Structure formats: structure tokens, C-alpha cells
A and B are shown apart, each in its own frame.
Chain A
Amino acid sequence: MDFPYYPINDFGPLMKGLVIGALGILHVFLAQFAIGGGMLMCYFQWLASSGRCAPARQFIDGFFKFLVLVSFILGAITGVGMWFTSIQISPRTIGMMVGDFHWVWAVEWTFFCLEIVAGYCFYRYGTRLDDAARMTLLVLYAVAAWGSLFWINGILSWQLTPGRWLETHSIWDGFFNPSFWPSLLYRTLVSMTIAALVACVVINAMPRFDRERRTILIHRAAHFLLPMIFMPVLGVWYLMSWPAESRAWVTGGSPAMSMFLAIGVGSSLLVGAYALFAIWWGKLYINGATATLLCALALAATAGGEFVREGARKPFTVRDVLYSNSILPGEIAQLRQVGSVSEDPFPLRDAADYPTQRLQLGAKVFRLQCSICHTMRGVNGLVELTGSWSDDQRRLMIAQLQRTKPFMPPFSGSAVELESLVQLIAWEAAGRPPGATDATLDAETLARIQNWLDEAGTLPASGHSQN
């Protein structure tokens, strides 16, 4: 069996998912700002060229500089950073995504190129061009930016809802998966919202405008907040396109996930209510502080939404295809026979810290199977989660992991490896007592573990997987 072992890094007390989550939220926020920003610029250019809004042209030139400085630099580099971080967290997942969708990614790259060229042309020469040329560049920029969302959305939504791809392995079945359209439309509205809110901040920060002009511009920018009224419908449609188990996690099944959903929904509601009643209905002026606060709420909504989207895939990283610990469902039976780490070429970095070979084996099993979502003592720490359990309880719970917690993948190692992991947790929970020795494994215990493993089987709790 040629299992692809990669060197696994320890993130200390931080859960790996938090690291990619933090970078992902920042990148998504910036990218959506760039996408919505392109559309907003087109709208303002239309206002300027049709004489509907006198200060629009001045605003565009100022706003576009801000967009370039933020989005072209931070957005672009955090985009590359997402790739690098994904490799650090789960090389097998990103490898699978690249393997199956590299032409889609290549198409997206052609849109990036257009976005950069159109954007820089406008940034550098926009002030010297007539309205028609400006509009052309802005439309091309906006189309390219939204196009990049279109293509990447297909890949990201495929991870959660691969749909008919599971049977056909056709790239188009994977791309136009069940959550593709609701996700695309929802993200488009989010992009428009973020762009409008950031525009309000920028308008307040531009010293060339007096209060009257700012008011005009803010109320024009607020038009981009209006489509938020469709968000609840799209949100429900998006949620309904998910597998039933995933939907159950976020709507009460998992308190943490439900909390993140509540943060996302609550923040969006607050922004939407303010936009609708205060800015649109009441024609209130938004000062810089309020606009910044609304942006912070939009960031919180993005954070909540992205955490929910990432977490809803559990126990998979690609639904029904690859578990979150980068093991294929079809590999589990074999790994249970030969051991999951018996051929791992990478030694422990801190082997000397573990006094026995059994604990070292347990540490290797923890590294391969658990460390993607758990630490030993930090965030989501095993010592805190299972410290009060008896050894037998740990054996049963881990052997039947997918039954213990349906968002966990099945245990993928041998009975000996499971017992080693149990002993490691017990040793850690006891505060790493010195003088531990390798005791002979009890054959009866191993038989009991094997029995539990066989009883639980290799399928996830939902009972279906493809590989």
C-alpha cells in the first residue's frame, strides 16, 4: 500500500484549522471586497458619465487607489498564502483539489491576469482617460474579478457537496455541484455589501469632500447594500443544498458550529437592518466610526460563515471522499491491518520526551490521525476532552469514534496503535509521570479493541462513502 506520508508539523497549542481559518477569513474578506469594489466602481462611473452624481469621478479615483493598495497586495499575497497554508495543513486535500480541478484553476488564473492588467491600467492612466475608456476598463476589471469568484466557487463548493461527481467523476458534475449557485449568488451579494461598507469608510477618509458631497456619495454607495434583502432566502437555499448531517451540525447538532452560524447570521442581520432602516429609509449620514464598525460586523459575518462552511464538511475534507485527517475511506481497512504509522518514514522530533516505545507509537498515531483537529493540551486538547475518562472508556470511544461523535472519522489504525494512543493520553493526562515502562500488551484487551473496531466498521456515521 503506497500511503502518501507527509511530514507533519506541530502548531503548538494552536489547532491547525484555526490557522487556515484566520488566513482564509482575511483573504475571503479582501477578495470579496475586490469583487464588489469592481462592481461599485462601474456603478459610480455610470453615475459620473450620466451626470447623476457630480463627485462620483473624484471618488472613483480615490477609492481605486485604496482598492489597489489593499486588494492587489494583501488580497493577492493572502491568496498565494491560502495555497501555502493548505499545503501545511493538508497536502493531500489540496493535492486532490489541484489534481481534479487544475484546469479550472488555470482558467481562474487567466481571469486574474485580466484583473491585474485592467486594474493597473485604470490605476495608472484612469485620470487621463475619457468616460468611455474608463468604463471599459472598469467593466473588464469587474468581470474578471467576479469571474475569479465564479471559478473558485465551483472548487470550494465541490468540497462540501460533490453531488453527481461522486458517481461520474466528471469535472462539470463536480463544478456545478448542488451548492454552486446558492453559494455563488450569496457570495456575490456579500461582495457588494463589503464594497459598499468599505466605500463609506473611504468616503469619510477623503479630505477633498465636504459633508454634503459625502452624504451624496454615501447614499449612492448604500444602493449596493439593498440586495442584502435577498440574503435570507439565498442563505436558506444554500443551507438546504447541504447534506442533511452537515445541516444538522450547524443548526444545533454542534454547539460550536451553531454559535458560529449565529455570529454570521446575527452580524449580517445587524448590518442589513442598519442599511435598510437607517441609511436607506432614514437617509442618515454614516460617519467614519460607524462605517468602520459596520465593516467589523461584516468581517465577523464572514468569519462566522467561513468557519461554518469549513466545519460543515466534517468528518470529511472532501465530502465522502477524503477524511479530515487525509485518509481515504477505502484505505482504513488496510491501515487497520498493517498499522497506520508502521511505514511512516518521518521519525518523531521529540522522541526523547516519550520514555517508552509504546508512547512513541501513540505519539506517531496522534500526529497522523488526530493532530489535524486536536492538540494534546491546547485548543481542542485531547487531555481536556478525554482526561476524565477511564482507559476502557477511551478504548471504546476511540475504537468507535464515528459513533462517539458523528463528525469524527473512523479510527484508521491497528488495535495495538489504538492501545498505544490510549496509553499516551493517559500518560499525558497524568502529567507525564517519569519512570513509565513498556508493559506487555494484554491480549484480551487487544481482542476487545479489535472487536469494537470491527463492530463500528470503516464507514462514517452517515454510512456512505465512495472510496
Chain B
Amino acid sequence: MLSMFPIGLPWPTVMYLVLYIVTLIIHVVFMNYVLAGSWYLVSISLFERRTADQLPSLVAGTLREWLPFMLSAAITAGIAPLLFVQILYKRNFYTANLLLFHRWMAILPVLIVAFYLLYIWKAKRVQAWPRLITFPLGLLTFSGFAFIAWSWTENHLLSINPGAWAEHYADGDMMYRSREVLPRLAVWFAGSFPTLALVLGWQLWYLQRDVPDEETVGRHRMSLLALSGLITAAIAVALYGVALPPEVREAVTGSMGWPYVFLAGCGWGVQFASWLQIRRSPRLEKIWLATASAGLLMTLVGVAMIREIIRWFRLDGNALFPLHEQSAGVGGLPLFLVFFVVNAALVAYCIIRVRRGLAAGASAS
């Protein structure tokens, strides 16, 4: 394949790829919030200044308040890409699941424990606990999500390496060892901080929209999170590039993938510049948050496409095309589109209804 990915692929494959990537990006936004947010909880538990009334800072309080919902949203949003990945790469995905077996299934209890821990973090009395307790609690919460991220990374890498399957099965190994695991995981982890900073930044902007400049908080902290995440992610990307086999690297930087490398790079630059501006501004400015959002979207699209190019380069596409065509032949797409629009509208209506209800309540009181 010499043309830009996915040009030249059959339409069913392109359709499922687009759906997969769009839904994956939505999932990733929530997932990044949770992964980086749970790490932030660890640092809060160590360094957060305690006030006499034990009230958390606005940043910490917002994070604690929203993390359970974000995890719920991440799980719900994750169902769609989990569905489309089974259409696109059925055999690879299932085989990797089976090969990692206990390790893979351990995700479920770990996720349940981590989820409940996030609710525990919300409790006011927990915020009064000594650091000797809150730090291990934070570490445990983060470790849960880190374990899940590590498991997904190994699962993905194993799924795109069919040559390793028989040996891996025979060994009964619960871990897949590859030089790509750590740098790839590092890309995800570092890349989650700019997303957290942006979403949390928007939340703080909304909460402080009527507060005078000198009293707003979060600008410094959010830009620090985002900029450090962007720099670390860039280093991790370089390391990952070195860990990739040369032919895969060439595919990414060649005609198949260079537009996406360019897109992701531009997005990185836009984000970096936006966060520098936010750092210099007196408060979280809407305009710079908007440009950072555009930059993040460009980076996420670019990275998601590069991820697929790496996978696609290692798989036999010709064997997959007939399966995608067969799947596209079953009915139901119009129904999905109808309900997607209807339920998206109802989701929007819920939010509008609540805002109106709260506004009415506030004016009445």
C-alpha cells in the first residue's frame, strides 16, 4: 500500500475503520482523564496543602468529584470501539485475549476495585485522613488503572504479532514481552496529561467564569501538567520510534503515514503554544483553551491513524477485506444512525434540562 492510509481500501473496511477511530478517540479522552487524574490523586495525597476546615482546593475537589463519572463514561464510550475492533480484527483480538487469559480477565476485578476507590476518594472524611493512609490509597487507585493500561498495551501488541502466538501459548506466559511495550505505554501515559489538563481546564474555566482574574485558580497547574505531558510524550514517541522495526517505522513516515505524523506534530505544536499562552495569561482564557482543544483533536486523530497504520502494516489486509464486506452486508446501519442521532439529542436535552432546572432553582432561592 503506497497511498495515504486508508485510501485504496475497500469501503466496508474504511467505514469500520472510521467508526472505530472516532469512537476510540471519544473513549481515549475519558480514559486519559482517569489515568492521569488518578496519578494526580497520588500527588495530591502527598503534596496537597491541608486547610483547617479540610476543604480541598478547587482543582483537587473538581477532580475527585468528576473522576467516577469520567470512569463510567470511559467504560461506556469504550463499548463502541470494543465492538468495532471485533469487526475489523476479530481473529487477532480474540487470540490475544485468549493468550493473555488470567492476566486479561484480571482487568475486571481490578477495574471494580479501582472504581469503588474513586468513590471513596469523593468522601469528605477521606480528605481528613493522614497522608500515611491517603498516599497508599492513591497509589492503589492509580496502580489499578496503570495495570489496565499495561494489559491493553500488551494485548494490542500481541494481537498484531501472529508469529508469536503458538510459542506464547505453549509457554503459558501471562506476560507478552516486547521491546515496544514500555515506550508505547509511556506514550499513552504521558499523552494522557495534556488531555486531563484540557478537560479539567475547561471545567475550572466554567466554574470560575464569574470570578475576578486575581482570584481564579488552576491556570498555572493546568499548564504545568499539559506542558510536562507534551514534552514527556514527545520523548516517549521518539523512544517508541526507535523500538519499532525499521520497516514499520518506514511505513509510518512514508507515503502511508506522513500526513498523520504531520497532523499529530502540528497538533502537538498548537497545544504547546496554547498552554504557553495560558501560562502567561491572567486566567484560563477560553480562546486558548479552544486552540488547545483543536490541537489535542489533531494529535489524537494523527496518533490514532498512526496506531492503525502500524497494525495494518503487520497484518494481512487481503484476508480481512472479505470479512469486513460480509459484516457490512448485514442490515441495521440506518437504524444505528437514527438512534445515534435521537439518543445524542436526548443526551443533550438531559444536560440542557438540568442547566435550566438549576438556573430556575437558583433564581427562585
Interface residues of A (CB under 8 A from B): 4, 6-9, 69, 72-74, 76-78, 80-81, 83-85, 87-88, 91, 94-95, 98-107, 109-114, 116-118, 120-121, 124-125, 128-130, 133, 136-137, 140, 144, 169-172, 345-349
Contacts and interface: CB of A to CB of B under 8 A. Distances in A.
Q: Chain A interface secondary structure, helix, strand, loop or mixed? A: helix
Given A113-B76, A133-B353, A4 B343 contact: no
6 contacts: A77-B75, A99-B327, A103-B330, A113-B344, A169-B330, A347-B170
Contacts of A117: 347, 350-351
Contacts of A94: 86, 94
Contacts of B356: 133
B340 interface: yes
- The size class of the interface chain B forms with chain A is 35 or more
Given A73-B112, A118-B350, A345-B166, A129 B361 contact: yes
B79 interface: yes
A7 B327 contact: no
A87 B346 CA distance: 33
Contact of A73 (B94, B115, B342): B115
Interface stretch (B125-133, B199-207, B242-250, B331-339): B331-339
B79 A112 contact: yes
Given A102-B332, A107-B335, 15 more contacts: A7-B99, A73-B112, A77-B75, A77-B108, A84-B108, A85-B105, A102-B87, A110-B339, A110-B342, A114-B343, A124-B69, A137-B353, A140-B346, A347-B170, A349-B169
B330 A116 contact: no
B83 A102 contact: yes
Given A69-B119, A73-B112, A120 B98 contact: no
A171 B350 contact: no
A94 B95 CA distance: 13
Interface of B: 69, 72-73, 75-80, 82-84, 86-87, 90-91, 94-95, 97-99, 101, 104-105, 107-108, 111-112, 115-116, 119, 165-166, 169-170, 172, 323, 326-327, 330-333, 335-336, 339-340, 342-344, 346-347, 349-351, 353-354, 356-358, 360-361
Contact of B98 (A6, A73, A121, A349): A6
A77 B116 CA distance: 12
A121 B355 CA distance: 10
A348 B170 CA distance: 6
Contacts of A106: 80, 83, 332, 336, 340
A426 to B, nearest CB: 26
Contact of A171 (B69, B330, B358): B330
B357 A128 contact: yes
Contacts of A345: 165-166
A170 B340 CA distance: 22
B72 A120 contact: yes
B320 to A, nearest CB: 13
Contacts of B343: 110-111, 113-114, 144
B275 to A, nearest CB: 29
Given A102-B87, A110-B339, A87 B94 contact: yes
- Among B87, B90, B354, B358, residue most surrounded by chain A Cβ atoms (within 10 Å): B354
